Amino acid sequence: MKSCLPACLSPISSLDLETTHGGDIHHIGAITDGEKRFEHKGGKKKSILLALDRLDPFCQDSKYILGHNLIVS
């Protein structure tokens, strides 16, 4: 039996943000299409902001975002 898992996951980006107790992001991880990966570790605030700018086009073709530790402001 052929698995539909890659096709089922294609409209979803799974995103995880790791933060400090103060709420600062220090690690970003994402996967989309069941195989494309995005990762950014550490860095100063400017580095994190640049990583978030790169994350936007990474997820642009996704219909849904599945998140863990997402921050809404």
* pLDDT in 10s for each residue of the chain, 73 residues: 555 555 665 688 999 988 888 888 889 999 987 788 999 998 788 899 999 999 999 999 888 888 877 666 5
Residue 16 has what pLDDT?
Answer: 92
Residue 71 has what pLDDT?
Answer: 62
Residue 3 resides in a domain: no
As for how many domains the chain has, the answer is: 1
State the residue range of the domain holding 56: 13-68
Rounded Cα gap, residues 30 and 53, in angstroms: 13
Residue 6 resides in a domain: no
Rounded Cα gap, residues 13 and 32, in angstroms: 4
Residue 3 has what pLDDT?
Answer: 57
Residue 73 resides in a domain: no
Residue 68 has what pLDDT?
Answer: 78
